[in-house]
Structure 1
Amino acid sequence: MATDDMWVWDGGRVCLDFANTLRHRWRSPSQETLRDPGDLALWLERAGLLRPGPPDHADAAVLAAGRKLRETVDRAVLAVSDGRLPSPGDVTALNRAAARAPRPALQIAVTDGRLEAAGTTSIAADASAALTLIAQDAVDLLLSADIRRVRICGADRCALRFLDRSPARNRRWCSMSRCGNRTKVRLHQARTRRGEHPPAD
């Protein structure tokens, strides 16, 4: 069974975090973190999409459907973020997955004296319904202006997907504390080995 440290929550959207459950996409074979139905149920619980409960929330068929949905989401999001249309098959698959359950009810909140959206109710009773929430999030992302902010981590050995919410829209790493710092350290060590010095400030 996967452990929490195998999962990364830096995607900025639940559908991107789900796409990131297939790690190391830059190499072959990549690393599957949803190895059994229990992994899928645990990930859905940790993502806040599934009520905690017994491990029989998911079975082999639901796991296969989840992995298939994950790759559909990934292909569609990367296509649209690159200015292309997703394949007709991916559009159909996402629409079907998103329609399997009613959309969660939109919630409101008062924040700093203003009325604003507070997200949606998003706890499902079973893993299949939780996968529907992921498909609905992907459809929302594909239709929003945020789709142009989807990035792939710039680290050579990462390839995690994330939503760039930086004001300048120039975020390069899925996480500065993980990939950003590691890359900077590696580049510094390489310069040091070559006898180069960084330019003075």
Structure 2
Amino acid sequence: MATDDMWIWDGGRVCLDFANTLRRRWRATPEETLRNPVDLVLWLQEAGLLAPGAPDPATAAVLASGRRLRETVDRAVLAVADGRLPASGDVTLLNRSAAEAPRPALQIAITDGRLEPAGTTSLAADATAALALVAQDAVDLLLSAEIRRVRICGADTCALRFLDRSPAHNRRWCSMSRCGNRTKVRLHQARARRSEHTAES
């Protein structure tokens, strides 16, 4: 079973967080955090998509479907973010998955004197419907202007996907506290070693 630290919530959209459940994509064998149906159910609950104590646990077939959806979301999002059209098969799978559950009712709130979205009213009753909510989020992202802000973490050993909502649109890391600081420390140490080597020469 995956532990909470295996799941990273820095994507900025639930569909990107879901894509990030396959870690270290740069490796020949990436790290799978959804190892079994229980992991999938726990992730969907942590993501706020699946009601706790859902009556029907996920099956191996639902897990396989979820992993297939995850890779479809990843391919489609990266294609459109790069200015290309997604594969027609990926569009078909996203549409079919998104139709598996009714769209939750959007709520509104008054915040600082203006109307804003306040989330949705319901959680899915089973894992298949929760995966449909992931697909719906991916469809929303693909059709939104935010798709141009999807990035891949700039750290050499990461490759997590995230939505750059920084004011200057120049965010490079999935998380400053994780990849950003580590990369800066590593680069600083490398510069210090070069300076020492130059001084000794």
Same-fold status (TM-score > 0.5): yes
**2:102 is aligned with 1:109:** no
| Distance in 2 between residues matched to 1:149 and 1:68, nearest whole Å | 24
Identity score, percent: 83
Alignment of 1:172-191 (within 5 A): 172-191=172-191
| Distance in 1 between residues matched to 2:71 and 2:121, nearest whole Å | 25
Q: CA RMSD in A?
A: 1.4
Tell me which residue corresponds to 2:128.
Answer: 128
Deviation at 1:52, TM superposition (A): 1.0
**2:17 is aligned with 1:14:** no
Tell me which residue corresponds to 2:32.
Answer: 32
SS in 2 for 1:107: strand
Gaps of 5+ in 2: 197-201
Tell me which residue corresponds to 1:164.
Answer: 164
Deviation at 1:113, TM superposition (A): 2.8
* 1:48–1:122 contact (8 Å) kept in structure 2: no
Deviation at 1:193, TM superposition (A): 1.3
Tell me which residue corresponds to 1:86.
Answer: 86
Gaps of 5+ in 1: 197-201
Deviation at 1:55, TM superposition (A): 8.6
* 1:40–1:58 contact (8 Å) kept in structure 2: yes
* 1:41–1:55 contact (8 Å) kept in structure 2: no
Tell me which residue corresponds to 2:95.
Answer: 95
Tell me which residue corresponds to 1:46.
Answer: 46
SS in 2 for 1:195: helix
* TM-score computed with the length of structure 1 as normaliser: 0.95
Alignment coverage as a number of residue pairs: 197
* 1:110–1:116 contact (8 Å) kept in structure 2: yes
| Distance in 1 between residues matched to 2:103 and 2:38, nearest whole Å | 25
Q: Which runs of 4+ in 1 moved over 4 A?
A: none
* TM-score computed with the length of structure 2 as normaliser: 0.95
